[in-house]
A and B are shown apart, each in its own frame.
Chain A
Amino acid sequence: MTRRLHLRLLRAASWIVPRDERADWLAEWTAELWYVERKCARATDFCLGAFRDAWWLRRYALNPTLRHILRLETPRQCLTVLTAAAALAVFFAFHLPGARNALVAPPYRNPGTLMMISTNGNPPDKASVTAGKYLSLAAGGGHWLTAVAFYQPAEMHVRWGTQTVAIRGARASDGLFDLLGVPIIHVPHRPELVVTESTWRRFGERGLLVDGRRVEVAAIIANDAWRLPGSFDAWLLLDESGLAALPAVPEGFVIGRGRPNLPDRAFWHILIPKSEGQFYNFVCMRPFQPVSVVTVVGLIFASCMILLGTASLPFGNYPIRRHFPRSTRIRRWLFLWVKLSLVLVILIFGALDQVAVIGTPISQVGVVVFFLAFRWVITDQKKRCPICLRVLANPVRIGRPSQTFLEWYGTELMCTEGHGLLHVAETTTSYCVRQEWTYLDSSWSGLFSDAAGQTAAR
Protein backbone atom coordinates (compact mmCIF):
# COMPACT_ATOMS: atom_id res chain seq x y z
CA MET A 1 0.00 0.00 0.00
CA THR A 2 2.77 2.44 1.05
CA ARG A 3 4.95 1.46 -1.89
CA ARG A 4 2.05 2.11 -4.22
CA LEU A 5 1.65 5.57 -2.69
CA HIS A 6 5.37 6.27 -3.15
CA LEU A 7 5.29 5.14 -6.75
CA ARG A 8 2.27 7.35 -7.37
CA LEU A 9 4.12 10.31 -5.87
CA LEU A 10 7.07 9.66 -8.17
CA ARG A 11 4.77 9.29 -11.17
CA ALA A 12 3.04 12.55 -10.28
CA ALA A 13 6.40 14.32 -10.02
CA SER A 14 7.50 12.84 -13.35
CA TRP A 15 4.83 14.91 -15.13
CA ILE A 16 6.84 17.99 -14.25
CA VAL A 17 9.95 16.58 -15.96
CA PRO A 18 10.36 17.41 -19.69
CA ARG A 19 8.93 14.60 -21.80
CA ASP A 20 12.21 13.44 -23.39
CA GLU A 21 13.85 12.93 -19.97
CA ARG A 22 10.77 11.58 -18.15
CA ALA A 23 11.26 7.83 -18.61
CA ASP A 24 14.93 7.90 -17.59
CA TRP A 25 14.17 10.17 -14.64
CA LEU A 26 11.36 7.93 -13.37
CA ALA A 27 13.50 4.81 -13.79
CA GLU A 28 16.27 6.33 -11.67
CA TRP A 29 13.96 7.50 -8.88
CA THR A 30 12.07 4.19 -8.82
CA ALA A 31 15.33 2.27 -8.60
CA GLU A 32 16.56 4.53 -5.79
CA LEU A 33 13.27 4.12 -3.93
CA TRP A 34 13.99 0.39 -3.70
CA TYR A 35 17.09 1.15 -1.58
CA VAL A 36 15.38 3.83 0.50
CA GLU A 37 12.54 1.50 1.43
CA ARG A 38 14.98 -1.15 2.56
CA LYS A 39 17.33 1.16 4.47
CA CYS A 40 15.13 3.64 6.25
CA ALA A 41 11.54 4.56 7.01
CA ARG A 42 11.55 8.05 5.46
CA ALA A 43 10.62 7.01 1.96
CA THR A 44 7.83 9.57 1.75
CA ASP A 45 10.29 12.42 2.43
CA PHE A 46 12.53 10.91 -0.22
CA CYS A 47 9.68 10.92 -2.75
CA LEU A 48 8.76 14.51 -1.94
CA GLY A 49 12.32 15.49 -2.82
CA ALA A 50 11.60 14.16 -6.32
CA PHE A 51 9.32 17.15 -6.93
CA ARG A 52 12.24 19.50 -6.32
CA ASP A 53 14.43 17.54 -8.70
CA ALA A 54 11.68 17.43 -11.31
CA TRP A 55 11.09 21.14 -10.99
CA TRP A 56 14.80 21.83 -11.41
CA LEU A 57 14.82 19.82 -14.66
CA ARG A 58 11.74 21.64 -15.91
CA ARG A 59 13.31 25.00 -15.16
CA TYR A 60 16.56 23.97 -16.80
CA ALA A 61 14.66 22.89 -19.93
CA LEU A 62 13.67 26.51 -20.50
CA ASN A 63 15.66 28.71 -22.81
CA PRO A 64 18.66 29.93 -20.71
CA THR A 65 17.90 33.60 -21.38
CA LEU A 66 14.26 33.16 -20.45
CA ARG A 67 15.27 31.19 -17.35
CA HIS A 68 17.50 34.00 -16.16
CA ILE A 69 14.84 36.59 -16.85
CA LEU A 70 12.20 34.61 -14.95
CA ARG A 71 14.52 34.35 -11.94
CA LEU A 72 14.59 38.19 -11.94
CA GLU A 73 18.21 37.78 -10.90
CA THR A 74 19.60 41.18 -11.75
CA PRO A 75 17.83 44.44 -10.83
CA ARG A 76 17.59 45.27 -14.53
CA GLN A 77 15.81 41.98 -15.29
CA CYS A 78 13.48 42.48 -12.35
CA LEU A 79 12.51 46.03 -13.36
CA THR A 80 12.24 45.06 -17.05
CA VAL A 81 9.81 42.23 -16.31
CA LEU A 82 7.77 44.39 -13.93
CA THR A 83 7.69 47.29 -16.40
CA ALA A 84 6.58 44.96 -19.20
CA ALA A 85 3.84 43.51 -16.98
CA ALA A 86 2.72 47.01 -15.96
CA ALA A 87 2.70 48.17 -19.59
CA LEU A 88 0.58 45.16 -20.58
CA ALA A 89 -1.86 45.77 -17.72
CA VAL A 90 -2.20 49.45 -18.71
CA PHE A 91 -2.52 48.58 -22.42
CA PHE A 92 -5.34 46.10 -21.77
CA ALA A 93 -7.05 48.49 -19.36
CA PHE A 94 -7.27 51.11 -22.10
CA HIS A 95 -8.32 48.62 -24.79
CA LEU A 96 -10.75 46.26 -23.04
CA PRO A 97 -14.15 47.98 -23.19
CA GLY A 98 -15.12 47.19 -19.59
CA ALA A 99 -11.84 48.45 -18.16
CA ARG A 100 -11.67 51.48 -20.41
CA ASN A 101 -15.13 52.63 -19.36
CA ALA A 102 -13.95 52.64 -15.74
CA LEU A 103 -10.93 54.77 -16.61
CA VAL A 104 -12.14 57.18 -19.29
CA ALA A 105 -15.61 58.68 -19.02
CA PRO A 106 -17.68 57.86 -22.13
CA PRO A 107 -18.94 60.73 -24.29
CA TYR A 108 -22.54 60.18 -23.14
CA ARG A 109 -24.86 62.31 -21.05
CA ASN A 110 -24.92 61.22 -17.37
CA PRO A 111 -23.21 57.85 -18.00
CA GLY A 112 -23.71 56.87 -14.36
CA THR A 113 -27.49 56.54 -14.87
CA LEU A 114 -27.21 54.33 -17.96
CA MET A 115 -28.01 50.66 -17.54
CA MET A 116 -27.48 47.59 -19.67
CA ILE A 117 -30.44 45.27 -19.49
CA SER A 118 -30.36 41.53 -20.12
CA THR A 119 -32.76 38.66 -19.66
CA ASN A 120 -32.74 34.90 -18.99
CA GLY A 121 -29.88 35.34 -16.51
CA ASN A 122 -27.39 36.37 -19.20
CA PRO A 123 -24.62 38.89 -18.52
CA PRO A 124 -25.42 42.38 -19.86
CA ASP A 125 -22.65 42.24 -22.46
CA LYS A 126 -24.32 39.25 -24.17
CA ALA A 127 -27.16 39.80 -26.64
CA SER A 128 -30.16 38.20 -24.95
CA VAL A 129 -33.25 40.35 -25.58
CA THR A 130 -35.61 39.93 -28.51
CA ALA A 131 -37.28 42.95 -30.09
CA GLY A 132 -40.61 41.68 -28.70
CA LYS A 133 -39.34 41.58 -25.11
CA TYR A 134 -37.81 45.02 -25.58
CA LEU A 135 -41.18 46.44 -26.67
CA SER A 136 -42.78 44.92 -23.52
CA LEU A 137 -40.11 46.58 -21.38
CA ALA A 138 -40.53 49.90 -23.19
CA ALA A 139 -44.25 49.76 -22.50
CA GLY A 140 -44.09 48.63 -18.85
CA GLY A 141 -40.73 49.73 -17.46
CA GLY A 142 -41.52 53.41 -16.93
CA HIS A 143 -41.54 53.02 -13.17
CA TRP A 144 -37.79 52.38 -13.12
CA LEU A 145 -36.53 53.78 -16.40
CA THR A 146 -37.01 57.15 -18.08
CA ALA A 147 -36.08 55.75 -21.50
CA VAL A 148 -35.00 52.50 -23.12
CA ALA A 149 -33.42 51.68 -26.46
CA PHE A 150 -32.63 48.51 -28.36
CA TYR A 151 -30.02 47.43 -30.90
CA GLN A 152 -29.56 44.14 -32.71
CA PRO A 153 -26.28 43.23 -34.45
CA ALA A 154 -26.77 42.42 -38.15
CA GLU A 155 -24.49 42.42 -41.15
CA MET A 156 -25.51 45.12 -43.61
CA HIS A 157 -24.87 45.31 -47.33
CA VAL A 158 -24.24 48.74 -48.78
CA ARG A 159 -24.58 49.26 -52.48
CA TRP A 160 -21.69 51.47 -53.50
CA GLY A 161 -21.23 52.23 -57.16
CA THR A 162 -21.33 48.90 -58.93
CA GLN A 163 -20.35 46.77 -55.96
CA THR A 164 -21.96 45.67 -52.71
CA VAL A 165 -19.93 46.03 -49.50
CA ALA A 166 -20.66 44.21 -46.22
CA ILE A 167 -20.32 46.26 -43.03
CA ARG A 168 -20.79 45.52 -39.31
CA GLY A 169 -24.20 46.99 -38.62
CA ALA A 170 -26.89 47.17 -35.98
CA ARG A 171 -30.64 47.66 -36.30
CA ALA A 172 -31.54 50.02 -33.50
CA SER A 173 -34.53 51.80 -32.03
CA ASP A 174 -34.70 55.42 -33.18
CA GLY A 175 -34.24 56.75 -29.63
CA LEU A 176 -30.86 55.02 -29.06
CA PHE A 177 -28.61 58.03 -29.65
CA ASP A 178 -31.05 60.48 -27.99
CA LEU A 179 -30.91 58.27 -24.90
CA LEU A 180 -27.11 58.29 -24.95
CA GLY A 181 -27.04 62.05 -25.46
CA VAL A 182 -25.28 61.89 -28.84
CA PRO A 183 -26.82 64.61 -31.03
CA ILE A 184 -28.24 63.49 -34.40
CA ILE A 185 -30.39 65.33 -36.92
CA HIS A 186 -33.54 63.32 -37.55
CA VAL A 187 -34.62 63.07 -41.16
CA PRO A 188 -38.40 62.87 -41.73
CA HIS A 189 -39.98 60.10 -43.82
CA ARG A 190 -36.79 58.17 -44.45
CA PRO A 191 -34.89 55.45 -42.56
CA GLU A 192 -31.92 57.00 -40.80
CA LEU A 193 -28.40 55.68 -40.62
CA VAL A 194 -25.76 56.68 -38.06
CA VAL A 195 -22.24 55.91 -39.21
CA THR A 196 -18.76 56.08 -37.75
CA GLU A 197 -16.20 58.54 -39.12
CA SER A 198 -14.30 55.82 -40.95
CA THR A 199 -17.48 54.49 -42.59
CA TRP A 200 -18.39 58.02 -43.64
CA ARG A 201 -14.94 58.49 -45.18
CA ARG A 202 -15.30 55.19 -46.96
CA PHE A 203 -18.61 55.96 -48.69
CA GLY A 204 -18.81 59.77 -48.47
CA GLU A 205 -22.47 60.02 -49.48
CA ARG A 206 -25.53 61.14 -47.49
CA GLY A 207 -27.90 58.86 -49.34
CA LEU A 208 -26.97 55.17 -49.34
CA LEU A 209 -28.64 51.98 -50.51
CA VAL A 210 -28.57 49.60 -47.51
CA ASP A 211 -30.02 46.10 -47.87
CA GLY A 212 -31.99 47.34 -50.87
CA ARG A 213 -33.49 50.37 -49.07
CA ARG A 214 -32.62 54.02 -49.51
CA VAL A 215 -31.43 55.47 -46.21
CA GLU A 216 -30.14 58.89 -45.13
CA VAL A 217 -27.02 59.39 -43.01
CA ALA A 218 -28.40 61.29 -39.99
CA ALA A 219 -25.20 61.55 -37.96
CA ILE A 220 -21.52 60.75 -37.98
CA ILE A 221 -19.98 59.74 -34.69
CA ALA A 222 -16.32 59.43 -33.71
CA ASN A 223 -14.79 55.97 -34.19
CA ASP A 224 -14.24 55.50 -30.46
CA ALA A 225 -17.57 57.03 -29.36
CA TRP A 226 -19.34 53.68 -29.17
CA ARG A 227 -18.59 52.17 -25.73
CA LEU A 228 -21.47 49.72 -25.44
CA PRO A 229 -21.22 45.97 -26.20
CA GLY A 230 -20.65 45.14 -29.86
CA SER A 231 -18.53 46.68 -32.56
CA PHE A 232 -20.31 48.45 -35.41
CA ASP A 233 -19.72 50.59 -38.48
CA ALA A 234 -23.32 51.80 -38.81
CA TRP A 235 -26.66 51.80 -36.97
CA LEU A 236 -29.93 51.68 -38.90
CA LEU A 237 -32.56 53.48 -36.82
CA LEU A 238 -36.04 51.94 -36.90
CA ASP A 239 -39.35 53.11 -35.46
CA GLU A 240 -41.60 50.90 -33.33
CA SER A 241 -43.27 49.23 -36.30
CA GLY A 242 -39.87 48.51 -37.87
CA LEU A 243 -38.68 46.92 -34.59
CA ALA A 244 -41.84 44.83 -34.27
CA ALA A 245 -41.10 43.36 -37.71
CA LEU A 246 -37.56 42.29 -36.71
CA PRO A 247 -36.91 38.55 -36.41
CA ALA A 248 -36.50 37.12 -32.88
CA VAL A 249 -33.05 35.79 -33.77
CA PRO A 250 -30.43 37.13 -33.42
CA GLU A 251 -31.19 38.62 -30.04
CA GLY A 252 -30.12 42.15 -29.24
CA PHE A 253 -29.04 44.48 -26.45
CA VAL A 254 -31.15 46.88 -24.41
CA ILE A 255 -29.86 50.05 -22.83
CA GLY A 256 -31.92 52.11 -20.42
CA ARG A 257 -31.65 55.27 -18.36
CA GLY A 258 -32.56 54.74 -14.74
CA ARG A 259 -34.69 57.16 -12.77
CA PRO A 260 -32.63 59.39 -10.45
CA ASN A 261 -34.34 58.01 -7.33
CA LEU A 262 -33.22 54.42 -7.98
CA PRO A 263 -31.09 52.94 -5.19
CA ASP A 264 -27.35 52.85 -5.83
CA ARG A 265 -27.02 49.11 -6.31
CA ALA A 266 -24.73 47.13 -8.63
CA PHE A 267 -27.71 45.42 -10.30
CA TRP A 268 -31.39 44.73 -9.82
CA HIS A 269 -34.31 42.92 -11.42
CA ILE A 270 -37.32 44.33 -13.25
CA LEU A 271 -40.37 42.09 -13.70
CA ILE A 272 -42.70 42.93 -16.60
CA PRO A 273 -45.96 41.00 -16.95
CA LYS A 274 -45.96 38.68 -19.98
CA SER A 275 -49.27 36.88 -19.62
CA GLU A 276 -51.52 35.69 -16.79
CA GLY A 277 -49.17 34.97 -13.85
CA GLN A 278 -46.04 35.06 -16.01
CA PHE A 279 -43.30 37.70 -16.13
CA TYR A 280 -40.27 38.71 -18.12
CA ASN A 281 -37.32 38.95 -15.74
CA PHE A 282 -34.90 41.70 -16.80
CA VAL A 283 -31.55 42.25 -15.04
CA CYS A 284 -30.17 45.79 -15.03
CA MET A 285 -26.51 46.62 -14.51
CA ARG A 286 -24.61 49.90 -14.72
CA PRO A 287 -22.01 49.65 -17.51
CA PHE A 288 -20.17 52.85 -16.65
CA GLN A 289 -18.87 52.83 -13.13
CA PRO A 290 -15.73 54.90 -12.59
CA VAL A 291 -12.83 53.46 -10.59
CA SER A 292 -13.58 53.91 -6.94
CA VAL A 293 -10.55 55.54 -5.33
CA VAL A 294 -11.99 54.53 -1.95
CA THR A 295 -12.02 50.85 -2.99
CA VAL A 296 -8.41 50.97 -4.21
CA VAL A 297 -7.16 52.82 -1.11
CA GLY A 298 -9.15 50.41 1.05
CA LEU A 299 -7.54 47.40 -0.64
CA ILE A 300 -4.05 48.83 -0.18
CA PHE A 301 -4.76 49.71 3.46
CA ALA A 302 -6.27 46.30 4.29
CA SER A 303 -3.42 44.39 2.65
CA CYS A 304 -0.83 46.57 4.45
CA MET A 305 -2.57 45.79 7.75
CA ILE A 306 -2.42 42.05 7.03
CA LEU A 307 1.22 42.45 6.04
CA LEU A 308 2.05 44.22 9.31
CA GLY A 309 0.43 41.42 11.27
CA THR A 310 1.87 38.46 9.40
CA ALA A 311 5.25 39.35 7.88
CA SER A 312 8.54 40.52 9.28
CA LEU A 313 9.01 43.95 7.75
CA PRO A 314 12.54 45.03 8.87
CA PHE A 315 15.01 44.31 6.11
CA GLY A 316 17.79 43.21 8.45
CA ASN A 317 21.08 44.50 9.76
CA TYR A 318 23.25 45.93 7.02
CA PRO A 319 26.24 47.66 8.67
CA ILE A 320 27.11 50.90 6.92
CA ARG A 321 30.58 50.70 5.39
CA ARG A 322 32.71 53.66 4.52
CA HIS A 323 33.95 52.27 1.23
CA PHE A 324 30.43 51.78 -0.08
CA PRO A 325 29.20 55.20 -1.20
CA ARG A 326 25.91 56.67 -0.07
CA SER A 327 24.65 56.37 -3.63
CA THR A 328 24.70 52.55 -3.24
CA ARG A 329 22.31 52.78 -0.28
CA ILE A 330 20.10 55.29 -2.11
CA ARG A 331 20.08 52.97 -5.14
CA ARG A 332 18.86 50.11 -2.97
CA TRP A 333 15.95 52.13 -1.57
CA LEU A 334 15.16 53.57 -4.99
CA PHE A 335 15.00 50.04 -6.39
CA LEU A 336 12.52 49.10 -3.66
CA TRP A 337 10.25 52.09 -4.32
CA VAL A 338 10.32 51.67 -8.11
CA LYS A 339 9.48 47.97 -7.67
CA LEU A 340 6.63 48.82 -5.32
CA SER A 341 5.26 51.48 -7.70
CA LEU A 342 5.34 49.07 -10.65
CA VAL A 343 3.62 46.37 -8.60
CA LEU A 344 0.90 48.88 -7.64
CA VAL A 345 0.37 49.78 -11.32
CA ILE A 346 0.12 46.07 -12.19
CA LEU A 347 -2.33 45.45 -9.35
CA ILE A 348 -4.65 48.38 -10.04
CA PHE A 349 -4.78 48.09 -13.83
CA GLY A 350 -4.73 44.28 -13.59
CA ALA A 351 -7.79 44.44 -11.32
CA LEU A 352 -9.56 46.56 -13.95
CA ASP A 353 -8.61 44.04 -16.65
CA GLN A 354 -9.92 41.23 -14.46
CA VAL A 355 -13.24 43.04 -13.97
CA ALA A 356 -13.47 43.56 -17.74
CA VAL A 357 -12.64 39.95 -18.63
CA ILE A 358 -14.36 37.97 -15.86
CA GLY A 359 -17.03 40.52 -15.07
CA THR A 360 -16.87 40.12 -11.29
CA PRO A 361 -16.11 43.21 -9.24
CA ILE A 362 -12.96 43.55 -7.11
CA SER A 363 -13.72 41.58 -3.96
CA GLN A 364 -12.05 40.17 -0.86
CA VAL A 365 -9.82 38.11 -3.17
CA GLY A 366 -8.32 41.46 -4.20
CA VAL A 367 -7.04 41.98 -0.65
CA VAL A 368 -5.24 38.63 -0.73
CA VAL A 369 -3.69 39.40 -4.13
CA PHE A 370 -2.54 42.84 -2.96
CA PHE A 371 -1.14 41.32 0.24
CA LEU A 372 0.77 38.60 -1.63
CA ALA A 373 2.20 41.14 -4.06
CA PHE A 374 3.39 43.46 -1.29
CA ARG A 375 4.84 40.49 0.57
CA TRP A 376 6.74 39.48 -2.57
CA VAL A 377 8.20 43.01 -2.86
CA ILE A 378 9.57 42.77 0.67
CA THR A 379 10.86 39.19 0.49
CA ASP A 380 12.46 39.88 -2.90
CA GLN A 381 14.25 42.89 -1.45
CA LYS A 382 15.44 40.85 1.53
CA LYS A 383 17.05 38.17 -0.63
CA ARG A 384 19.08 40.62 -2.71
CA CYS A 385 22.65 41.80 -2.25
CA PRO A 386 22.60 45.39 -0.89
CA ILE A 387 25.48 46.39 -3.20
CA CYS A 388 24.67 44.94 -6.65
CA LEU A 389 20.97 44.13 -5.96
CA ARG A 390 21.34 40.67 -7.48
CA VAL A 391 19.40 37.74 -6.01
CA LEU A 392 21.60 35.90 -3.51
CA ALA A 393 22.57 32.33 -4.33
CA ASN A 394 24.03 29.17 -2.80
CA PRO A 395 21.76 28.74 0.23
CA VAL A 396 23.57 26.56 2.75
CA ARG A 397 22.02 25.33 5.98
CA ILE A 398 24.32 25.84 8.92
CA GLY A 399 24.08 24.36 12.40
CA ARG A 400 21.42 22.25 14.03
CA PRO A 401 18.44 23.12 16.21
CA SER A 402 20.30 21.67 19.21
CA GLN A 403 22.81 24.53 18.89
CA THR A 404 20.17 27.17 19.65
CA PHE A 405 21.61 28.05 23.06
CA LEU A 406 25.22 27.97 21.93
CA GLU A 407 25.18 29.52 18.50
CA TRP A 408 22.75 30.52 15.79
CA TYR A 409 21.57 28.08 13.17
CA GLY A 410 19.86 28.83 9.90
CA THR A 411 20.67 29.52 6.28
CA GLU A 412 23.61 31.37 4.79
CA LEU A 413 23.33 32.87 1.30
CA MET A 414 26.03 34.49 -0.75
CA CYS A 415 26.30 37.17 -3.40
CA THR A 416 27.76 35.61 -6.53
CA GLU A 417 29.64 38.86 -7.19
CA GLY A 418 31.45 38.39 -3.88
CA HIS A 419 29.98 41.37 -2.03
CA GLY A 420 29.02 39.43 1.08
CA LEU A 421 27.06 36.81 2.95
CA LEU A 422 23.58 36.92 4.40
CA HIS A 423 22.78 34.98 7.55
CA VAL A 424 19.11 34.19 8.07
CA ALA A 425 18.33 32.62 11.44
CA GLU A 426 15.91 29.70 11.54
CA THR A 427 14.30 31.00 14.72
CA THR A 428 14.49 34.46 16.18
CA THR A 429 16.60 34.67 19.31
CA SER A 430 17.59 37.62 21.50
CA TYR A 431 21.01 37.72 19.86
CA CYS A 432 19.79 37.19 16.31
CA VAL A 433 16.54 39.04 15.70
CA ARG A 434 16.96 40.00 12.06
CA GLN A 435 18.90 38.68 9.13
CA GLU A 436 22.54 39.81 9.23
CA TRP A 437 24.69 40.90 6.33
CA THR A 438 28.45 40.40 6.36
CA TYR A 439 30.54 42.32 3.83
CA LEU A 440 33.43 40.46 2.24
CA ASP A 441 36.54 42.49 1.56
CA SER A 442 38.79 42.30 -1.48
CA SER A 443 40.80 39.38 -0.05
CA TRP A 444 37.85 37.12 -1.00
CA SER A 445 37.82 38.22 -4.62
CA GLY A 446 39.85 35.16 -5.73
CA LEU A 447 36.87 32.95 -4.95
CA PHE A 448 34.61 34.89 -7.28
CA SER A 449 36.86 35.38 -10.29
CA ASP A 450 35.42 32.52 -12.31
CA ALA A 451 32.01 33.52 -13.54
CA ALA A 452 31.31 30.04 -14.90
CA GLY A 453 32.11 28.62 -11.53
CA GLN A 454 29.48 30.82 -9.95
CA THR A 455 26.88 29.30 -12.20
CA ALA A 456 28.07 25.82 -11.35
CA ALA A 457 27.86 26.51 -7.66
CA ARG A 458 24.29 27.86 -7.74
Chain B
Amino acid sequence: MGEKSLSHTAAMILQAIGAGFFYGFSIMETTGLPSGTVYPALRRLERDGLIRSQWEKQSAADAALRPPRKYYKLTTSGAATLEAAQERYPLLARLIPQAQEQDV
Protein backbone atom coordinates (compact mmCIF):
# COMPACT_ATOMS: atom_id res chain seq x y z
CA MET B 1 0.00 0.00 0.00
CA GLY B 2 1.49 3.31 -1.03
CA GLU B 3 2.03 6.03 1.55
CA LYS B 4 -0.12 9.08 1.26
CA SER B 5 1.31 12.59 1.19
CA LEU B 6 -0.36 14.83 3.74
CA SER B 7 -0.61 18.55 4.13
CA HIS B 8 0.94 19.91 7.30
CA THR B 9 -2.50 20.49 8.83
CA ALA B 10 -3.65 16.93 8.13
CA ALA B 11 -0.37 15.57 9.53
CA MET B 12 -0.87 17.59 12.73
CA ILE B 13 -4.36 16.21 13.19
CA LEU B 14 -3.19 12.68 12.55
CA GLN B 15 -0.37 13.17 15.04
CA ALA B 16 -2.87 14.48 17.63
CA ILE B 17 -5.03 11.39 17.21
CA GLY B 18 -1.95 9.17 17.34
CA ALA B 19 -0.87 10.96 20.52
CA GLY B 20 -4.13 10.08 22.26
CA PHE B 21 -6.37 13.06 21.60
CA PHE B 22 -9.36 11.14 20.37
CA TYR B 23 -12.25 13.55 19.91
CA GLY B 24 -12.78 16.77 17.97
CA PHE B 25 -12.52 19.34 20.73
CA SER B 26 -9.36 17.84 22.25
CA ILE B 27 -7.75 17.82 18.78
CA MET B 28 -8.73 21.47 18.32
CA GLU B 29 -7.30 22.38 21.69
CA THR B 30 -4.04 20.54 21.13
CA THR B 31 -3.35 21.69 17.60
CA GLY B 32 -4.70 25.23 18.03
CA LEU B 33 -6.57 24.85 14.75
CA PRO B 34 -10.07 26.31 14.38
CA SER B 35 -13.19 24.13 14.22
CA GLY B 36 -13.73 24.97 10.56
CA THR B 37 -10.36 23.33 9.77
CA VAL B 38 -10.33 20.39 12.20
CA TYR B 39 -13.71 18.81 11.50
CA PRO B 40 -13.54 18.88 7.66
CA ALA B 41 -9.99 17.48 7.95
CA LEU B 42 -11.30 14.66 10.16
CA ARG B 43 -13.93 13.86 7.51
CA ARG B 44 -11.27 13.79 4.79
CA LEU B 45 -8.98 11.55 6.81
CA GLU B 46 -11.88 9.21 7.56
CA ARG B 47 -12.91 9.19 3.89
CA ASP B 48 -9.34 8.23 2.95
CA GLY B 49 -9.33 5.38 5.47
CA LEU B 50 -6.63 6.85 7.70
CA ILE B 51 -8.89 7.12 10.74
CA ARG B 52 -12.22 5.63 11.79
CA SER B 53 -14.83 7.03 14.12
CA GLN B 54 -17.06 5.49 16.77
CA TRP B 55 -19.54 6.89 19.28
CA GLU B 56 -18.78 6.00 22.88
CA LYS B 57 -21.46 4.19 24.87
CA GLN B 58 -24.16 6.34 26.42
CA SER B 59 -23.60 4.65 29.80
CA ALA B 60 -19.94 5.76 29.83
CA ALA B 61 -20.94 9.32 29.05
CA ASP B 62 -23.70 9.27 31.69
CA ALA B 63 -21.24 8.01 34.28
CA ALA B 64 -18.92 10.93 33.52
CA LEU B 65 -21.85 13.40 33.49
CA ARG B 66 -21.15 14.64 29.97
CA PRO B 67 -22.51 14.09 26.46
CA PRO B 68 -21.19 11.07 24.54
CA ARG B 69 -18.10 11.66 22.46
CA LYS B 70 -17.38 10.61 18.92
CA TYR B 71 -13.93 9.06 19.10
CA TYR B 72 -11.47 8.95 16.22
CA LYS B 73 -8.80 6.22 16.04
CA LEU B 74 -5.95 5.61 13.62
CA THR B 75 -6.36 2.74 11.20
CA THR B 76 -3.35 0.58 10.24
CA SER B 77 -3.02 2.63 7.09
CA GLY B 78 -3.29 5.83 9.15
CA ALA B 79 -0.55 4.69 11.52
CA ALA B 80 1.76 3.96 8.57
CA THR B 81 0.97 7.34 7.04
CA LEU B 82 1.64 9.07 10.37
CA GLU B 83 4.99 7.35 10.62
CA ALA B 84 5.91 8.62 7.16
CA ALA B 85 4.66 12.12 8.04
CA GLN B 86 6.79 12.14 11.20
CA GLU B 87 9.83 11.39 9.08
CA ARG B 88 8.91 14.24 6.73
CA TYR B 89 7.99 16.67 9.52
CA PRO B 90 10.38 15.81 12.40
CA LEU B 91 8.96 18.55 14.62
CA LEU B 92 5.50 16.99 14.65
CA ALA B 93 6.15 14.72 17.60
CA ARG B 94 7.61 17.58 19.59
CA LEU B 95 4.72 19.88 18.71
CA ILE B 96 2.12 17.40 19.89
CA PRO B 97 3.45 15.07 22.59
CA GLN B 98 1.54 12.09 23.94
CA ALA B 99 -1.62 12.96 25.88
CA GLN B 100 -1.18 12.73 29.63
CA GLU B 101 -4.84 12.62 30.47
CA GLN B 102 -7.51 11.99 27.94
CA ASP B 103 -10.45 13.43 29.77
CA VAL B 104 -11.34 17.12 29.83
Interface residues, chain A, with chain B CB atoms under 8 Å away: 27-32, 34-36, 38-39, 45-53, 56-57, 60, 394, 396, 447-448, 450, 452-458
Contacts and interface: CB of A to CB of B under 8 A. Distances in A.
B6 A453 contact: yes
13 contacts: A27-B55, A31-B68, A39-B104, A45-B34, A49-B36, A50-B39, A53-B40, A57-B43, A396-B9, A453-B5, A456-B44, A457-B6, A457-B7
Given A36-B25, A52-B35, A396-B8, 13 more contacts: A27-B55, A29-B39, A35-B26, A47-B35, A49-B35, A49-B38, A53-B35, A53-B39, A53-B40, A53-B43, A396-B7, A453-B2, A457-B10
Given A39-B29, A39-B104, A456 B23 contact: no
Interface string B16-31: 0000000111100100
Contact of B50 (A50, A53, A455, A456): A456
B35 A50 contact: yes
Contacts of B68: 31
Contacts of B6: 453, 456-457
> Which of under 10, 10 to 19, 20 to 34, or 35 or more describes the interface residues of B?
20 to 34
A47 B39 CA distance: 11
B57 interface: no
B28 to A, nearest CB: 8
Contacts of A29: 39
Contact of A31 (B10, B35, B67): B67
B25 A456 contact: no
B3 interface: yes
A35 B27 CA distance: 12
Contacts, number: 94
Interface string B49-70: 0100001000000000011111
A35 B2 contact: no
A31 B104 contact: no
B43 A49 contact: no
Chain A contact residues, majority secondary structure: helix
Nearest to A48: B36
B23 A32 contact: yes
Contacts of A35: 25-26, 66, 104
A452 B29 CA distance: 29
Contacts of B36: 48-53
For B10, B26, B40, B45, which residue has the most chain A Cβ atoms within 10 angstroms?
B40
B87 interface: no
Contact of B39 (A36, A38, A49, A394): A49
Contacts of B48: 452, 455-456
B4 A453 contact: yes
Nearest to B45: A456
